[in-house]
Amino acid sequence: MKVRVDGDACVASGMCAYLAPAVFDQREDDGVVVVLREVPDEGQYEAVQDAVRNCPARVISVEDADDPTEG
């Protein structure tokens, strides 16, 4: 899994950082999403999917990656 976000469209709700704190954080100055782990551990997949579903701006997406260490 590879995580992508469109930071320009992020509304800084913080849902992603709340649901998957190992993968997402927020910039201190404006709260815009920061991806901590573009290629998360498998144990984080469910939390990431939760974040995808609950992001109010719908700016988080995931790609399947054959090689989880890729990228």
Task: Please report, as ranges, the residues that interact with ligand SF4 according to CB under 6 A.
Answer: 5, 10-16, 24, 26, 33, 55-57, 59-60
Q: Are strands 33-35 and 24-26 parallel, antiparallel or unpaired?
A: antiparallel
Name the residue nearer to ligand SF4 (CB basis): 1 or 24: 24
The nearest distance, CB 55 to ligand SF4, in angstroms, is 3
- CA-CA distances (angstroms) from residue 6 to 43, 60, 62? 23, 7, 12
**Euclidean distance between CA atoms 12 and 32, whole angstroms:** 5
Name the residue nearer to ligand SF4 (CB basis): 12 or 36: 12
The nearest distance, CB 10 to ligand SF4, in angstroms, is 3
